[in-house]
Amino acid sequence: MSGLALSFSRDDRPASPSVVEAMLSVMDYLGPDGMHVEAKGPVALGHLQFCTMPEDIGERQPLSLPEASLTFMWDGRLDNRLDVYQQLPGRLPRLEDLSDAQLVLHAYACWGSACVRRLLGPFALAVYDHSQREVVLACDPMGGRNIFYWLSEHTLVVASEPGGVLAHPDVNIEPDHGPMVMFFAHTEQTDAATLFRGVKTLLPAQTMRVGLDYVATESFWPFDPKVRLHYRKDEEYAEHFLELLTNSVECRLRATGEPAVALSGGLDSAPIAALAARCLSTQGRRLTAASWVFDQFAACDEREYLEQMYRVHNLEPLQVNCDAAWPLSDFDTWPIHPCAPFQNPYRRFHEHLYRDLEQQGVRVLLSGLMGDHLYTGTERWLGDLLAERRIGSAMGDGIGYIIAHGWRAFVTQGLLRGLLPHRIYRTLRPRPVPEWLTPFARSHLNGSDPWPQESEQARRPHQYLRALELVTGLGYIERYFARRYRIELRYPFRDQRLVEFMLKIPTHQLYSRGIKRPIVRSAMRGIVPAAILARQTKTSFQSLYTFGLCEKELTRISQWLDDPDNLWCRYVDRDWLLANRDCERMSGYVGWLCISLEMWSRYTSVGAAFRNAQKLP
């Protein structure tokens, strides 16, 4: 994992390497292992190196292939190295002597930008073709790596993070209110816009070609959202799921030093930890499992389940006590992302975990984050059962649903949402405009369909959106915090092959007879302890959250929410927020977003510039 920056003069002016150096300097946490910049005519390219795989050691990007007139930069991990290598013609160095970047450069020289269709794994790449005098950019279908850009008639500016783009002298910090309103409305993004006008993100599975006088974009993921996978037995789905998740975990264990896993007692991280431990044990290695624990907040503590995992899989425990890690604790040192307003209220949990892992020399951390997204869309259970002509199961599940949730829920969720096409359902039951938005915010609320637009055609539109939405792909936010401790985060549930499989399986593998996630419970039987597989609810940190904001930090947040000159007042109706002055209302979801924006706009240089551009006090 690394960082990229590029400046391309579309009017053929010589590019300045010092400009790209300045862009890289604001993202220096992405490259603890070195920085290198090259300027070649109208283009300057810069790379920040972070060596997390054995093949990365000693590599220096940008790479060049003189015979193909290419200069190339790569940020990513190639999970199908052998397949790509075997498809390449001609004589190449041994596979073990090639880094991922070198291998993909050879693939690009052979197949051009079409090579991205053959790549598996998270990646972002930038290529300058000297013969064509064009820049080519691409990101993987899962959005595992990001590219942000700003484009004018004269200049293309590219970076791995928005801050890198904003550091270019041609780019001004101007607010784009649409994405900020989506932030407060809690709606999905609809396009490539960011909080900063003119700064866009390259969409997942998209290539962009920029020349002196043209711009062209193309999508390259040929997945059909309407495809249905059907097996004769439930066991076959479980076996396929286990095979895909095992392969995903093994791909993410390729690392310098010893990897670790973030372990809770839930159904996302426990399977990852179990499969990683089994893989490493065949090599005589022991997996470190890093977890949060609590002594004072018993409802937050999961040691009951952690200890079972330790015993079954011989894990090396790393427990971090987070009793004092409530929201806004140690406020003077509270970390804030320089270019993103959202604050994770449990940021201190992650900070303490990253700190302890860094002290142990860990550079790669596997996480079960975003596993939840793959199991959504369960409202289609009735339609899928009827489509498979499982009438008895449909009747039995329907009766069970009525008993558990009532007739009204069965009609609205089981029948209307479960059987009607998504667009018709949304026409009958449109999503209401959040009542807390100001008239100014409502005027900037984008009424377009969320990205990806083809989600309307998917068998389970909600699942398709959650699995592929742009917010899911914006891993640069958490990446910033992990990189401050020289740690790369890897997400096995974001594997393209696994995501495609989960989008194609029947809904009864996601929900059946009141049981959530039957597929993972079946697949991990005998691998994950039975007590974890039997869990139906998740651990909540609400008691710590309430303690922090309603007792320890109440004075601070009251001051922020009382001030009518705060930036959040432009987007959230202050009277609505303060109508009920009890702590629960003030520290709820919308209140926390207001606090987040205020912190970002007051305590970061980019946030302050965003605020000043609106001429607020």
Contact 523, 505 (CB under 8 A): no
What radius of gyration do the chain's Cα atoms show?
A: 25
Token pair recorded at residue 388: 């498979």
Whole-model pTM over 0.85? yes
Written as one letter, the residue type at 485 is Y
The 199-201 sheet, strands edge to edge: 35-40, 43-48, 3-9, 155-159, 148-151, 199-201
Contacts of 561 (CB under 8 A, 6+ apart): 577, 578, 586, 591, 594, 595
pLDDT of residue 1: 67
One-character DSSP codes across 135-172: EEEEE-TT--S--EEEE-SSEEEEESSHHHHHTSTT--
> How many C-beta atoms surround the C-beta of residue 349 within 10 A?
18
The 288-293 sheet, strands edge to edge: 316-321, 288-293, 260-262, 364-366, 488-490
Nearest to 483 by CA among 29, 24, 35: 29
Contact 417, 455 (CB under 8 A): no
Contact 490, 362 (CB under 8 A): no
CA–CA dist 184, 588 (Å, integer): 13
pLDDT of residue 617: 45
pLDDT tens sequence across 103-156 = 999 999 999 999 999 999 999 999 999 999 999 999 999 999 999 999 999 999
Domains and CATH numbers, the chain: 3-219 (3.60.20.10), 234-373+471-533 (3.40.50.620), 553-612 (no CATH)
Nearest to 88 by CA among 62, 108, 114: 108
CA–CA dist 42, 514 (Å, integer): 61
- Ranges of the chain whose pLDDT falls below 70: 1, 471-474, 580-587, 615-617
pLDDT of residue 190: 75
Cis peptide before 452 (omega within 30 of 0): yes
CA–CA dist 452, 470 (Å, integer): 8
Burial of 221 per CB tally in 10 Å (0-12, 13-18, 19+): middle
The β-bridge relationship of strands 148-151 and 199-201 is: antiparallel
Angle between helices 177-185 and 589-603 (to 10 degrees): 140
Token pair recorded at residue 210: 């920029």
Contacts of 512 (CB under 8 A, 6+ apart): 381, 397, 518
Strand ranges (E), 265-405: 288-293, 316-321, 364-366
**What is the H or E stretch that residue 9 is in?**
strand 3-9
CA–CA dist 503, 229 (Å, integer): 9
Contact 50, 33 (CB under 8 A): yes
Burial of 187 per CB tally in 10 Å (0-12, 13-18, 19+): middle
Q: How many residues does the chain have?
A: 617
